Amino acid sequence: MVISVDPIGSTVERDPTDHTPLTPSPTHERSRSSSVSPSLAPQFPAQEPGSLPLTPPTSSGPHSASKATPDQSTTSSRQSHQEYLDSLQPPSEEEFQRLAKVQEQREKEHRRRSQELRRKSVAMTQQSTEARQDFVQTKAAEKEEQSGHRRSIF
């Protein structure tokens, strides 16, 4: 017996010597509309409900062929990438020293900018604190001045 998949996606067991096409006849399709014949129902081993069959169906679609053998563009891309990797050379001692010096200068500049921003932030915080204190003192003085001019009823 050979297991095949008919055009509507059902799994069918067939005799290998049977060469009849798998396309259903119109009368056969009408008879299947109410129930599936037990002989044409998918034949899977008994499994837990909701589980998939143990062996996936084979496909002759375009994706199955590409997975089996890599196409020419993938192979040439891999070769090209490998050639590129093989062509890479480590920097010379002079170039390495130059790069280290450039990196050190960039790190110094970064630290200098960070310190400058921190100093500005501290200065702004101090000014803000002083301004807040001045505001509170001014409000307190105004309140005291207003309360001094009021006459008490008692």
Please indicate, yes or no, if residue 19 is contained in any of the structural domains.
Answer: no
pLDDT value of residue 83: 92
Please indicate, yes or no, if residue 72 is contained in any of the structural domains.
Answer: no
Per DSSP, helices labelled H in the chain are 26-32, 62-68, 72-87, 93-149
pLDDT value of residue 136: 94
Contact (Cβ atoms closer than 8 angstroms) between residue 4 and residue 42: no
pLDDT value of residue 146: 85
pLDDT value of residue 75: 83
Please indicate, yes or no, if residue 22 is contained in any of the structural domains.
Answer: no
Beta bridge partners of 4: 12
Please indicate, yes or no, if residue 122 is contained in any of the structural domains.
Answer: yes
Please indicate, yes or no, if residue 139 is contained in any of the structural domains.
Answer: yes
Please indicate, yes or no, if residue 152 is contained in any of the structural domains.
Answer: no
HEC string for 82-121: HHHHHHCCCCCHHHHHHHHHHHHHHHHHHHHHHHHHHHHH
How many domains, the chain?
A: 1
Please indicate, yes or no, if residue 78 is contained in any of the structural domains.
Answer: no
Please indicate, yes or no, if residue 127 is contained in any of the structural domains.
Answer: yes
Mean pLDDT split into 10-residue runs, the chain, 154 residues: 62 64 51 50 55 58 55 84 92 95 98 96 94 93 79 58
Q: Domain limits at 124?
A: 95-146
